[in-house]
Amino acid sequence: MAKYKMILDLDTGVDDALALAYAVGAPEVDLIGIISSYGNTLVDIAAQNSLDLLHLLGADDVPVFIGESHSSTTDHFDVMNISQLIHGKNGIGDVTLTPSPRQVEKETGVDFLIRAAHDYHEDLILVPTGPLTNLAAAIKKDNQVAELIGQTTLMGGALTVPGNVTPFTEANIHQDPEAADFVFTHQKNLTMVGLDVTLRTLLTKNETAEWRHLNSEAGEKFASLMDFYIDAYYNLDIDKRGAALHDPLAVAVSIDPTYITGLPLNMRVTYNTENGDYGRTIGDKTQLLAPTTSKAAVLVDTDRFVKDFQNMMLTVLK
pLDDT at residue 150 in the model: 97
Rounded-to-integer distance, Cα 193 and Cα 84, Å? 23
The 10s digit of each residue's pLDDT in 134-192 is 999 999 999 999 999 999 999 999 999 999 999 999 999 999 999 999 999 999 999 99
Band (pLDDT 50/70/90 cuts) for residue 274 is confident
* pLDDT above 80: residue 275: no
pLDDT at residue 129 in the model: 98
Band (pLDDT 50/70/90 cuts) for residue 289 is very high
Q: What mean pLDDT is predicted for residues 73-97?
A: 96
CA distances from 145 to 91, 149, 197 (A): 30, 6, 27
Residue in 137, 65, 69, 145 with CA at minimum distance from that of residue 108: 65
* pLDDT above 90: residue 91: yes
Active site residue 213: no
Among the options 55, 70, 186, 246, which is catalytic? 246
Q: Which residues of 124-158 are buried (b: 16+ CB within 10 A; e: fewer)?
A: bbbbbbbbbbbbbbbbeebeebbebbbbbbbbbbb
Q: Work out the percent of the chain whose per-residue pLDDT is above 70.
A: 100
Give the H or E element holding residue 243: strand 243-244
pLDDT at residue 190 in the model: 98
Region 4-316: CATH code: 3.90.245.10
The 10s digit of each residue's pLDDT in 190-247 is 999 999 999 999 999 999 999 999 999 999 999 999 999 999 999 999 999 999 999 9
Q: What is the mean pLDDT of the chain?
A: 97
* pLDDT above 90: residue 14: yes
pLDDT at residue 276 in the model: 77
Greater confidence (83 vs 1) lies with: 83
CA angle at 312 for the pair 308 and 316, rounded to the nearest 5°? 175
Band (pLDDT 50/70/90 cuts) for residue 83 is very high
